Chains A and B, each alone.
Chain A
Amino acid sequence: GEDVEQSLFLSVREGDSSVINCTYTDSSSTYLYWYKQEPGAGLQLLTYIFSNMDMKQDQRLTVLLNKKDKHLSLRIADTQTGDSAIYFCAESMGGGKLIFGQGTELSVKP
Chain B
Amino acid sequence: NAGVTQTPKFRVLKTGQSMTLLCAQDMNHEYMYWYRQDPGMGLRLIHYSVGEGTTAKGEVPDGYNVSRLKKQNFLLGLESAAPSQTSVYFCASSDRGQTYEQYFGPGTRLTVT
Q: Which residues of A contact B (CB under 8 A)?
A: 4, 8, 31, 33, 40-45, 48, 88, 92, 95-98, 100-103
Contacts and interface: CB of A to CB of B under 8 A. Distances in A.
A88 B43 contact: yes
A44 B104 contact: yes
Contacts of A45: 101-103
Contacts of B45: 97-98
Interface of B: 4, 31, 33, 35, 40-45, 48, 50, 58, 90, 92, 94, 96, 99-107
A99 to B, nearest CB: 8
A101 B42 contact: yes
Contacts, number: 55
A30 to B, nearest CB: 8
Contacts of B96: 96
A96 B94 CA distance: 7
Contact of B41 (A31, A33, A92, A102): A102
Where chain A touches its partner, the secondary structure class is: strand
A48 B101 CA distance: 9
Contacts of B43: 43, 88, 100
B42 A88 contact: yes
Contacts of A44: 104
A42 B105 contact: yes
Contacts of B31: 96
Given A88-B42, A100-B43, A42 B99 contact: no
A97 B101 contact: no
A11 B104 CA distance: 26
Nearest to A93: B45
Nearest to B95: A96
Nearest to B35: A100
Given A41-B107, A43-B90, A98 B42 contact: no
